[in-house]
């Protein structure tokens, strides 16, 4: 594993007084990769859940994909700072595609819980996709649109079914602003330009209700975006690879089949 800084200099919105590490990626490469998966652990926008980082990268490695685990900024940073980090990670993955051995149009973003919200923001808030052709950093000239998105038990809405802790940490004093809540509710942000999606959740999830995934799936269907949705009966929130849960533990293989179909 190699640690790569998102920015070598001039980190946008940097607040040293927050005492938080600079945003970075942990690189997990494989020989002759099929593409790159940018992995976003959850943690309620307060921390990064270890079991949703390295183990996920190693899983997609076994499927023939390289991976980057993003160590994005969290509370007391608020939106749009985590989104800036995720967009930059996709741009770095695309910029380094030739050097790292894969097609620049085979970049997926994967997130869990609050990390799924961040992955979804990257995939569906298209106003952040366009690169700046005049940027001095060549990576910033590239598109940040991922070519597919994988969302596990995601905090995908800021509305009725949201996870309040994640919402409050991301939005702070704006968490009661209806316009801001609507803007960060992903079911409102899907357009016909959105990338294909793989979603999974558990019906038993009492922290982030399955309606988060159901609402987003309905929005994807309304815009004719290809998607795959799996709702498993068993499993509390944050099950990760779910290796001890019958049925639910099948989700990585189902994801693999989806990835294979996306890039045959």
User: Quick one: pLDDT at residue 95?
Assistant: 98
User: Quick one: pLDDT at residue 264?
Assistant: 78
User: Quick one: pLDDT at residue 6?
Assistant: 97
User: Quick one: pLDDT at residue 1?
Assistant: 79
* pLDDT means over runs of 10, the chain (264 residues): 92 95 97 98 97 98 98 97 98 98 98 98 96 95 98 96 95 95 97 98 97 98 98 97 96 98 89
Burial class (CB in 10 A: 0-12, 13-18, 19+), 25: buried
Taking Cα atoms as reference points, which of 246, 218, 60 lies closest to residue 148? Answer: 60
Give pLDDT tens digits for 92-110.
999 999 999 999 999 999 9
Dihedral angle sign, alpha carbons of residues 53, 55, 57, 63:
negative
Q: Are 56 and 67 in contact (CB under 8 A)?
A: yes
Dihedral angle sign, alpha carbons of residues 130, 135, 138, 140:
negative
| Structural domains of the chain ordered from first start | 2-6+16-262 (3.40.50.1820)
Continuous segment of H or E residues that includes residue 177: none
């Amino acid at each position: 594993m190699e640690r790569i800084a998102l920015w070598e200099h001039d980190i946008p919105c940097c607040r040293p007084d927050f005492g938080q590490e600079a945003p970075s990626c942990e690189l997990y490469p494989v020989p002759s990769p099929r593409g790159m998966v940018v992995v976003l652990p959850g943690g309620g926008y307060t921390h990064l859940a270890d079991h949703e980082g390295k183990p996920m990268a190693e899983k997609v490695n076994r499927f023939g994909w390289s991976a980057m685990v993003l160590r994005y900024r969290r509370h007391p940073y608020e939106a749009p700072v985590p989104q800036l980090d995720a967009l930059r990670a996709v741009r770095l993955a695309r910029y380094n595609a030739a050097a790292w051995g894969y097609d620049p149009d085979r970049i997926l973003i994967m997130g869990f819980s609050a990390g799924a919200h961040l992955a979804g923001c990257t995939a569906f808030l298209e106003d952040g996709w366009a690169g700046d052709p005049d940027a001095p950093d060549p990576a910033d000239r590239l598109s940040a649109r991922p070519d597919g998105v994988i969302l596990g038990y995601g905090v995908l809405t800021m509305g009725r079914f949201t996870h309040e802790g994640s919402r409050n940490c991301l939005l702070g004093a704006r968490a009661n602003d209806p316009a801001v809540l609507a803007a960060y509710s992903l079911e409102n942000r899907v357009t016909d330009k959105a990338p294909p999606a793989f979603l999974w959740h558990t019906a038993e999830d009492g922290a982030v209700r399955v309606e988060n995934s159901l609402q987003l799936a309905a929005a994807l269907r309304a815009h004719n975006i290809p998607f795959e949705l799996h709702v498993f009966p068993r499993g509390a929130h944050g099950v990760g690879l779910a290796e001890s849960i019958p049925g639910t533990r099948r989700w990585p293989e189902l994801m693999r089949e989806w990835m294979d179909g996306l890039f045959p």
